[in-house]
Amino acid sequence: MDINSFFNVFSTTPADRAEAERRNWAEHRRRCASARDWDWKTRFTPEMNLTAVSWDAKPLFPGVPTTDCGNPAKSLDYLDSPCGQFRYTNAVLTPPHKLRVGWGLMRGTVVWDGPVTIPRLHQRDEVGRWGAGDFRNYECHPWMSITPSEIITQRSGVRHAKGHVVVGGLGLGWLLERVEERKKVECITLVEVNQGLVDWLLPVLRARMGDTPIKVIVGDVDEVVPKLTADVCLLDVYPYYGSNGQHRDKLDRESPNVKHFWAWGGHKER
C-alpha cells in the first residue's frame, strides 16, 4: 500500500464508506446475475461468479462451527492440533466478499451468490502469531485454505499422477486426496516435514480415502526426494504461488530416479 492509499483509508467520511459499500453491492449483484455452478474442472476466468450451493469444499473437521472472524487469534470457533502448532477453522464468507484467484500469471477474483465455507489452516510462528508471513495482515493470512484458487492451481499436478507418486507437502490434504482417487495411481509416498501435522490430519484424511497404499516419510523434500524412485513427484511445499519452477528444476536434477516433476506455482508444465 502506498502512502496516499494508506491515508485515504483512514480519511474517508461515513458518506464515502457508504458509497463504497453501495458500489460493492452493485458489482456483486451484476456478477451474481451470471453465477455458474462450480466443480473441480471449472476453468479460470478473471471474474469467477459461482453459485454457493455448488461449492463443495469438504471441511476436514465438520464439527467445528463456522466463523465469520477472519482472525484465527480472535475467533472463538477453531480446533488446535495436539502439537499446538496448527489451528483449523471453517471460515464462512458472506456476500459481497471477494476472494483473489490466480492461474499461471493471470489474476482475478471469485464471488459467490450466497455464504460459503472455506476450510483454513493457520500455523503458529516462533512468537505465537497465527499466519503465513504477510506483515500487513499477519494474523489473518492462512497457511493453507481450500479455495477455487488452490484447486485450480493444483489440478495440473493431479493430472500428472500415475504409478508411484511422491506428494511433497500435506497441507490440508486436497492434493493427496485427489491423487489417491486416480485409477492410474498404484502407490503414494507422502513427504511432510512436520510430524505433528501428519499425526493430526492424516488419520482424518485416510478415513475418507480409498485403499491406495500410502507410505509416509517425515522429512524435508530437499533431503528425501533425491533418494527416492518414483514415476512422478508433485511438490506443494511453498508459502506463495509463483516462481517455484527453479526449485522444481533443482530437485529434478538431483533426483535421477524420479521420472517427472511438477511444482505448485512452477508455471512451466513439463
- pLDDT tens-place string over residues 61-114: 999 999 987 777 778 899 999 999 999 999 999 999 999 998 888 999 999 999
pLDDT of residue 206: 97
Of the candidates 221, 164, 155, 211, the residue with the CA atom closest to the CA atom of residue 189: 164
**Contact 163/188 with Cβ under 8 angstroms?**
no
**What are the φ and ψ backbone dihedral angles of 213, each rounded to 5 degrees?**
-60, 135
8 A C-beta contact, residue 168 and residue 234: yes
More confident residue, 103 or 157: 157
Q: From CA 14, how far away is CA 57, in angstroms rounded?
A: 37
Cell of 144: 493453507
pLDDT band at 140 (very low <50, low <70, confident <90, very high): low
Domain locations along the chain: 3-145, 151-263
Strand partners, 189: 166, 215
Distance separating alpha carbons of residues 52 and 70, to the nearest angstrom: 19
Range 159-188 burial, b when 16+ CB lie within 10 A, else e: ebbbebbbbbbbbbbbbbbbbbebeebeeb
Average pLDDT for residues 20-26, to the nearest whole number? 93
| pLDDT(268) > 90 | no
- For residue 127, what pLDDT band results from cuts at 50, 70 and 90? low
Average pLDDT of span 162-167: 98
Of residues 6 and 63, the one with the higher pLDDT is 63
What is the arithmetic mean of pLDDT over 238-244? 83
Least confident of 82-91, 165-174, 182-191: 82-91
Q: What is the mean pLDDT of residues 224-242?
A: 93
Q: What is the pLDDT of residue 76?
A: 82
- At 158, is the pLDDT very low, low, confident or very high (cuts 50, 70, 90)? very high
Predicted local distance difference test score (pLDDT) of residue 72: 74
Instruction: Report the chain's mean pLDDT, rounded to a whole number.
Output: 88
Task: Give the pLDDT of residue 173.
Answer: 97
Amino acid letter at 66? T
Output phi, psi for 174, to 5 deg. Answer: -60, -45
> Looking at the domain 151-263, which fold is it?
Rossmann fold (3.40.50)
Strand partners, 144: 121
pLDDT of residue 17: 85
Average pLDDT over residues 206-233: 97
24-66 pLDDT per residue, tens: 999 999 999 999 999 988 999 999 999 999 999 999 999 999 9
| pLDDT greater than 60 at residue 10 | no
